[in-house]
Copies of this chain bind each other. A is one copy, B any other.
Amino acid sequence: MISEEEMQIWHMWKSSYTNIFGRVVKDMFEQTGLSEGDFGILDRLDLYGKGKLRQQELADSMDWTKSRLSHHLTRMEKRGLVLREPLETERGVQVITTSAGKSALNNARPVVSVAIREHFLELLTEQDIDSITNLAERAKAKS
């Protein structure tokens, strides 16, 4: 069993995340039309693959299941942000950023920066950063 105080910690932790993350995502969506997922995908295509990546690599780098990615790409393809092309050398699919995707990404970068700074980084003390770093370490090790 868990004490009332411990349960409070849990609730505070959840609501902090929900609030902050929600604000960042909302700003981004309102100002750029991109969701977190959209941004993550375009970002990785740009950084790791200069605009192209194999679907499976992409899924791995985002820690997403192939199903989740497949669904998401279907939606993004419909909006003209990316397109899919079969690989010639081996089986599998290349995901390619369209020019619309590129400009959406470039558009979004500064917006995302500002939102993260304003809604998240601004709130953090040095100690918080320590905690976040350490907790991330311990949380990852578990998996």
Q: Which secondary structure dominates where chain A touches chain B?
A: helix
Instruction: Confirm or deny: A143 has a beta carbon within 8 angstroms of a beta carbon on chain B.
Output: yes
Residues of B within 8 A of A2 (CB): 113, 116-117, 121
Q: How far is the CA of A63 from the CA of B117 in the complex (A)?
A: 25
Residues of B within 8 A of A19 (CB): 139-140, 142-143
Residues of B within 8 A of A142 (CB): 19, 23, 119, 123
Contact between A139 and B20, CB atoms less than 8 A apart: yes
- Can you add 10 more A-B contacts, CB < 8 Å, to A125-B131, A128-B135? A6-B117, A6-B121, A12-B132, A12-B133, A13-B132, A16-B140, A17-B21, A19-B140, A127-B131, A131-B132
